[in-house]
Amino acid sequence: MDDYAWLRERSDPAVIAYLEAENAFTDAVMRPTEGLQQTLYDEMVARIREDDSQPPVRRDDWYYYSRTEQGRAYPIYCRRHGSPEAPEEVFFDQNEAASWHEYYQLGALAVSPDHRHLALLVDTSGYEAFTLRILDLATGVWLADSVDNLGFGLAWASDGATVFYTTTDEAKRSNAVWRHRIGAPTEADAPVYRDDDPAFNVGVARARDGRWVVVSSASFTSGETWLVDAHAPDTPPVCVRRRQPGVEYEVSPGGDWLYVLTNEGGARDFKVMRASASSPAGWREWLEHRPGVFVEGIDVFRRHAVVLERHDGLRRVRIILLGDHAAAAGRAPAAEPDSFFVDFPEPAYDVTPGSNPEFDTGVYRFTYSSFVTPDSVYDFDVVTRSRALLKRDDVLGGYDPAAYQVERIGARARDGAVVPISLVYRTSFARDGARPLLLYAYGAYGYSTEARFDHSRVSLLDRGFVFAIAHVRGGQEMGRAWYDDGRMMKKMNTFADFIDCAEHLITEGYTRRERLVARGGSAGGLLVGAVANMRPDLFRAIVADVPFVDVINTMLDDTIPLTAQEWEQWGNPRSREAYEYMRRYSPYDNVRPADYPAILATSGINDPRVAFWEPAKWVAKLRATRTGGGTLLLRMKMESGHGGASGRYGRIREQAFRYAFILREAGAA
């Protein structure tokens, strides 16, 4: 029996009235914090440079960049021709485009190879149902070409007049790639590839070398890739290698070679194979599998490749010189590549690839940050091994990174695994349990949570908070085994890890229970929801953003977006074994009479990933079942989806609200 199933009926006026009543109640409870919310918002806005610009990215003889202006919520996209000092051309102002909408988000923004047209995927509801729009950059006129209800993924052919996009099925699974010719009616758009297997999601992208449009179809455990000649977009796609159960692979074209990241042959932490572009199925080992070194991805350029690896929980950047670059450095090319690593100084950090559209370059751009170092954009010369800092985000208002301490520690889980924890706090610091602590985790889909900088977090740190990330199983921080040990019939490890990390932080004096707050979103919302049932005594408060809490009902309904694909992530409850295992942790199904922590659940009514009714039902059941009278709030945004507000000021306002709740409940207001 599901006493709150009626809350699924969005078209029922009673459901809307219920959600609006919940919002009114939340506003009433939080009204005493409105001054604090405004103070936090003002602090956060004052900390960022509102008038700002990103370093330009070169494509051919054009330099592309985005910038922001004070008081305007969205980026302005610009370019200069010939040099970075040439006159600016604003080719798309998202603020103007968004002025007619309460919500406005881009799923893709791509300039054609001839720099003549701009293609956009636009979402104005938060439901991630995109519309393709095309702008003539020479005239500034929007073309009549328009296609609705599209998925993610956009790619130009080399002629600058053909664009590829994806459509979705009834469950919002990207299932097909189509080809559109500028000026042609959409009824004439041609199908390129279609996959009717509900476990597979289809994508499309243009390869960096410009030779191919890459069509991919992948589940959580296998996949295949097809190549379309970018110079002959009407030709049929060629399959690199047909899918095999349990074999995952991704293809990075590099001139005459295809570089294939794969787990084939038992390479659990992945390896890189290489094949001739003329014989794509003929893979030969290029970078061997090394247990304990998880290969996340590879970027290929004409004379070098960049491999992203993860070792001891941290990402590292490995540079491999090819051809002329290897010779210039005094090293001959070899079947087993010669390489070196880019070094980073801090104990916990984040490094992510920047925009690197040029294939023929000797420079690799990346962004580095840590808990105390703001986003820093570097260009790295792969021959001289020197790096140039192009831009470091300003943190206004007297921010001093030396006033904060970063730590990386390990917590012993109950089964003996050591779970990494990244921490930051303001000094001086005594481990006497007096500090409030916000513990965050995600722990799903193999997504690794990085120790990156957040301007808004300074407002918590300066009020005495410790911020910590528990790198629990289900992520891939410690390699593929870490992921596999936190999904399917091992999902309970994720929740146990989080609890064990919390108890370790208390034992070590970083905080105490009555000052400990947990936060997670989406699948991380499942995590904190499950933990709330398992150990309601351990936390003072919980923030669950767009939480996936109604696990069994959602996994039984394959008409809901993502469900069928995620049977490989959580299991299919039509199986007795999977049902009984899910029944042990599903937050909605395990609500019980207990004194729960204070809880704030947030959601958006247009969310296509975690339906709004999941947190609504969860909060309703908690109200009816729990004992005690702690704070229990639902904040439902009536105009957005999974990611919350689309503009930067709206996102800051939402963060200020969450922080006010956290400070109020942890006694740090």
Which of the residues are catalytic? Answer: 522, 607, 642
Query: Rounded CA gap, 657 and 661, in Å?
Result: 6
| CA 341 and chain centroid, separation | 25
Contact 617, 634 (CB under 8 A): no
CA torsion sign for 253, 257, 263, 264 is positive
Choose among 490, 475, 366: nearest CA to 422: 475
Q: Please give the sequence-ordered ranges of beta strands (E in DSSP) within 69-186, or none if there are none.
A: 76-81, 89-93, 105-111, 117-123, 130-136, 141-156, 162-168, 174-181
Give 355-387 as a 3 state SS string.
CCCCCCCCEEEEEEECCCCCCEEEEEECCCCEE
DSSP label of 472: -
Q: Where are the beta strands (DSSP E) in 413-565?
A: 418-426, 437-440, 466-470, 516-521, 541-545
Q: Which of 303, 311, 393, 301 has its CA nearest to residue 353?
A: 301
Structure token digits, residue 649: 């000021």
Q: Do residues 532 and 520 lie in contact, with contact meaning Cβ atoms separated by under 8 Å?
A: no
Please give the single-letter amino acid code of residue 5.
A
Q: 54: helix, coil or strand?
A: coil
Side-chain half-sphere of 527: how many Cα atoms within 13 Å? 32
Q: Would you call the peptide bond into 428 cis, given omega within 30 degrees of 0 as the criterion? A: yes
Contacts of 21 (CB under 8 A, 6+ apart): none
The token pair at 572 is: 């299919």
* CA-to-CA dists, residue 667 to 508, 515, 531, angstroms: 21, 7, 22
Helix (H) or strand (E) holding 632: strand 632-637
DSSP state of 618: H
Terminal-residue alpha carbon distance, the chain: 41
Q: Is the distance from CB of 109 to CB of 118 less than 8 angstroms?
A: yes
